[in-house]
Each structure stands twice: as C-alpha cells, then as structure tokens.
Structure 1
Amino acid sequence: MTNTQTMIQGDCLDLMMGMPDAAFDAIITDPPYSSGSSVMNSKSDPRDKYNLSQAFPSFRNDSHDQRIHMLWTIHWLSLALRITRPGGWLMLFSDWRQLPLVSDAMQLTGWTWRGVVVWDKTEGCRPNPGMFRQQCEYILYATNGSRMPGPRCFPAGIFRASIPSRKNRHHMTGKPVALMEHLMTVLPAQSKILDPFAGSGSTLAAAQNLGHAATGIELSPAYYRIACNRLGLALAS
C-alpha cells in the first residue's frame, strides 16, 4: 500500500503561507498550550512543566504570555482557514486554562465553531491534592463555513482513554492514536489532513490506519526524526 503520509520539518507559519487555497479537508492538531505551570507567563522548559525531566526532547512556543499566545494563535488559524476547503474541519486541542482564548481566536479568524469533544484521561492522570482532578483535555471543533457532507455517524462527544505510558509515548504531550482515530470518524473517506504541529506523528499514524492522506509539519528536528521513524518515512536530505 502506498504511504500517503508526509512529514515536513520547519515552521508552520512560513510553510502554510506557501500552500494553495483549499488544499485540505481537515486541520487536526495539538499545538503548544502555553498554559504555564503555576505562573501563566513562566518561561520554564516544557520538560519541567510536565515533570518529565530529560525523558523527551523539548519543544518551542509553549511559554508565550497570554497576549502573545492569542496573537500567535490568530495568525496560524487564519492561515489554516485559507488552506482548508469550504465546509472542511478544524479540530484543535486545548487544556482548561486556554479554552476561552482558543475559542475566541477560532471565531475571530472566521471559523464556525461547532462544539467541544472531551478527552477523559481517566483516574490515572496526575492527582491534584485537595482539588478536583484535572482529568480532561478538550478538542474544539469548527468548520470553514457550512459543514461539508460526510458519513452518517453519531460518535461520542466524550472519549475515555488513559494517557499513553512513558514506555509507549513518543512525545511528552503525545495523544493516544485511538483518540485521533475517533476524531476522524466524521471525515469523508480518503480525506486530506494537515497537522501543523505534528510532534511525534500521532495524527498521521491515525490517518494512516484509516486510509486518509496526511501532511505533518514539525518545527523540532528531534521530533521530526521521531515521527519519520515511527511512520516509516524517509528523512528529507
């Protein structure tokens, strides 16, 4: 079977500007949250925030303050809208802190917000003594105008799956492939998907499993190599 997955190493802001209009059926991505730890504008290494020491390579754009993060999000969402076909999908991960910012940026850039899918990370997530568990992350979904026709399906709005174990994880904030496959349930067959923040390639792995074509952009050379090795792709020379 021909591999229809492509990884590109570089800055998505630069690369998306050179992509043609309406090139993709869906943008499915998990960008840096920039939600800090106890301090919103903390400039700490993401490995410290996620308490993972040196287990994984670090990554950039996770320590913006709120104003810069809003402007940055508006910028890439505007680019994403232009290269998504009319009726195409946006599925965008966020934590609870950035949920208002992401929903505002999405609507300011012209996306039609449709709802939120909840990822229930189960009781295995890190406890927060004396507080409710921060057990959920959120996927805001939207369309470029009216939704294009897709399969007749009724997927659950809550998906329960534990965080991948460190042994089975390729990225410090990696998402379960089964979750990414669940999000793709609403897409037409053989869709063309873009992940501008591809990380270790979980979106592309799910697309590969389901017969979709997907392009991933990753800024970090280390994670670009990890994703290519995971997906069986040749590294760009």
Structure 2
Amino acid sequence: MSLYYQDEQATLYHGDCLTEHREWLEADVLVTDPPYGMGFKQGKRNSRVEGWTSRHTGVEIAGDADTAARDTAHTAWGDRPALMFGTWKRPAPAGVREVLVWDKVVSTGMGALDIPWRPSWEAIYVIGHGWTGKRGHGVLQHSLPTISDERKWHPTPKPLSLMERLIEKCPPGTIADPFAGSGSTLLAARNLGRKAIGVELEEKYCEIIAKRLSQGAFDLGGVA
C-alpha cells in the first residue's frame, strides 16, 4: 500500500484512506463519491448495441454495507468545504447546507418495478463555506449512457464533465478524493489547473486512474 502515481498536479495513493493514507486530509476541498451504504452489487446489464454487456456483473463496492466509511472520512475532514455524492435512501452526512441533484438524463437502474418511474438522479451534498462562481441552478444535467466508456472501467462512475462543473465552483486550493474510484475527480481537477490528491482501496482502479492521468493534461475520452 503506497504512492501509486504522481505528477506535478495529481497524487494517487493505493490503500485505505481511513487507516493507511491520511495525506488527503491536508487538502483544502473534499470532492468525493464515497460508499453509499446500499450494499451495491452490479447486476447483468445488456444494451441495444450488439455484443455489449457490463463487465462488472457481480462486482461489489468495498465498504458499502453501511455509511460507516463515509461518516468516518467526513468526521476526519470536519466542517471544511466538501461535496459528497449520496442517495436519499440513506441518511445524509452531518452539516449539509444544500443538496444538488445530478440529473443523469437517462435512467440507469430498474428501481421499484411497481412504480411507473425509473431512478435517474443522485444527490450531491454541499458542506462548508467558501464556494465561488456565478450562482446557478442546483440540478446538473450530465448524461452517462449505459454504453459509455466510463462504464467499461468502474461500476459507479461519475462523468468527467460533471466533476469539472462542480470543481469550477470549489474554493481555492487542493482537491481531495479519498474514494477515488475511476479517477474522474482527480482528472477534472487537473484539467482545471487544480492540484489533487486521491486514495483508492482497490488496485485495479488505481491502474485505471494512473492510465487516465498519464495520458496528458486533458482527458479526451479514450479511457474514462
């Protein structure tokens, strides 16, 4: 468990952000997609594109049995500026000042089959002070189709465009993502000229993040 990747702007550690690598706590703004406490397990997903099936069938999210990992990280971070993804199905973290909505535009889940609507959004909790930029709408529309590149590399990815839009309004300083996943937060921060530090528990995702970051200053979608 060690330093996995580093360049002038981005640093990535492989290991447990709660016990092994605490360097992320030295950053200025937290932007992260922690385990939601949903007991997530990727089911088989087919699309209308011939031959395409999710490679994540049966994959589970580490630490997703409950919100303990999220809450422990949040407690360590304190009341400093933070954006944390979540779901209305579980209690929000403490100190939430506003809830943004990521409108996925297209539905990516089944939801309750006896209800005539499918789920197509996630919550983004706003914590702390110092946010900048022009005041805008709290519903952020960013599509992530089933057959998108992002879904090839991680079961619960976040669009690079969405992460860039969020980080544009973050207070100055280094961005931290202790649950780095496929690396969209780190890449978005670097694309915007921000320094970023991330931690990822699973090495297979560290490899993907390092590959994305090593492509150059801007990610053009080849690996997402």
Q: Shared fold (TM-score greater than 0.5)?
A: yes
Structure 1 residues 223 and 164: CA distance shift in structure 2, 3 A:
farther
Residue equivalent to 1:156 = 137
Q: Bigger shift: 157-166 or 24-33?
A: 157-166
- Aligned to 2:29, the other structure's residue is in SS state strand
Cα offsets for 1:99-120 (capped at 9, x unmatched):
xx2x2xx32xxxx321001011
Residue 174 of structure 1 is matched in structure 2 by 157
Matched, 1:4 2:9: yes
Question: Structure 2 vs 1, CA of residues 165 and 218 (structure 1 numbering), >3 Å: closer, same or farther?
Answer: same
Instruction: Confirm or deny: 8 A CA contact 1:125 1:162 kept in the other structure.
Output: no
- Aligned equivalent of 1:213: 195
Correspondence for 2:37: 34
Q: CA RMSD in A?
A: 2.6
CA distance in structure 1 between the partners assigned to 2:145 and 2:213 by the alignment: 18
SS in 2 for 1:225: helix
State the AA in 2 paired with 1:60.
Answer: A
Quick check: 2:102–2:139 contact (8 Å CA) kept in 1?
Answer: yes
TM-score normalised to structure 1 length: 0.73
Pick from 64, 88, 98: which aligns with 1:115?
98
TM-score of the pair, normalised by structure 2 = 0.77
How many residue pairs were aligned?
197
1:94 to 86, 97, 100: 86
Indicate the percent of aligned positions where both proteins have the same amino acid: 30
Q: What's the counterpart of residue 41 of structure 1?
A: none
The AA in structure 1 aligned to 2:34 is: P
Matched-pair contact (CA < 8 Å) for 2:63–2:69: no
| Higher share in helix | 1
Query: Paired residue for 1:142?
Result: 127
- Unaligned stretches of 5+ residues in structure 2: 1-6, 47-52, 216-224
Letter in 1 for 2:63: N
In the alignment, is the contact (CA less than 8 A) between 1:121 and 1:161 conserved in 2?
Answer: yes
Aligned partner of 1:61 among 63, 67, 84: 63
**1:95 positional shift:** 1.9
Contact 2:10 2:186 in 1 (8 A): yes
Could you tell me which runs of 5 or more consecutive residues in structure 1 were left unpaired when the two chains were aligned: 38-45
Q: Distance in 1 between matches of 2:54 and 2:10?
A: 29
